[in-house]
Structure 1
Amino acid sequence: MLRVRTTKTRRPPVLRRVVHVGVAAGTAVLLLATPGAAQAATGDVAYLAANSLPVVIANLRNLIMGLLAGIATLFLVLAGVYWATAGGDPGQVDKAKGALRNALVGYGLAVLAPVLLQLMQGIVGG
Structure 2
Amino acid sequence: MSRTPHHTLRIRRLVLRVAAPLAGVGLALALPHAAFADSGATVQLAANSLPVVIANLRAWIMGILAAIATLFLVLAGVYWATAGGDPSQVDKAKLALRNALIGYGLAVLAPVLLQVLQGIVGG
Taking structure 1 as the reference length, what is the TM-score of the superposition? Answer: 0.69
Q: Distance in 1 between matches of 2:64 and 2:27?
A: 12
Q: Structure 1 residues 109 and 91 mapped into 2: Cα distance closer, same or farther (>3 Å)?
A: same
Amino acid aligned to 1:67 = I
Q: Structure 1 residues 33 and 57 mapped into 2: Cα distance closer, same or farther (>3 Å)?
A: farther
1:43 to 18, 39, 60: 39
Amino acid aligned to 2:88 = G
The size of the alignment, in residue pairs, is 99
Q: Structure 1 residues 116 and 29 mapped into 2: Cα distance closer, same or farther (>3 Å)?
A: farther
TM-fit CA distance, 1:32? 3.7
Aligned to 2:66, the other structure's residue is in SS state: helix
> Which stretches of structure 1, 4 residues or longer, exceed 2 Å deviation after superposition?
27-35, 38-48
Which of the pair is proportionally richer in helix?
2
1:59 correspondence with 2:56: yes
- Once the two structures are superposed, the pairs formed by residues 80-99 of structure 1 within 5 Å of their partners are 80-99=77-96
TM-fit CA distance, 1:39? 4.0
Quote the RMSD (CA, aligned, Å): 2.5
CA deviation profile, 1:84-103 (whole Å, cap 9, x unmatched): 00000000000000000000
Q: Distance in 2 between matches of 1:97 and 1:44?
A: 59
1:34 to 32, 35, 57: 32
TM-fit CA distance, 1:30? 8.4
Note the residue ranges of structure 2 that are not aligned, 5 or more in a row. Answer: 1-22
Taking structure 2 as the reference length, what is the TM-score of the superposition? Answer: 0.70
Q: Structure 1 residues 106 and 58 mapped into 2: Cα distance closer, same or farther (>3 Å)?
A: same
Q: Structure 1 residues 53 and 30 mapped into 2: Cα distance closer, same or farther (>3 Å)?
A: farther
Q: Distance in 2 between matches of 1:40 and 1:63?
A: 27
Note the residue ranges of structure 1 that are not aligned, 5 or more in a row. Answer: 1-23
Aligned to 1:81, the other structure's residue is in SS state: helix
Q: Structure 1 residues 98 and 69 mapped into 2: Cα distance closer, same or farther (>3 Å)?
A: same
1:74 correspondence with 2:59: no
Aligned to 1:94, the other structure's residue is in SS state: helix
Larger RCO of the pair (alpha carbons < 8 Å, separation 6+): 2
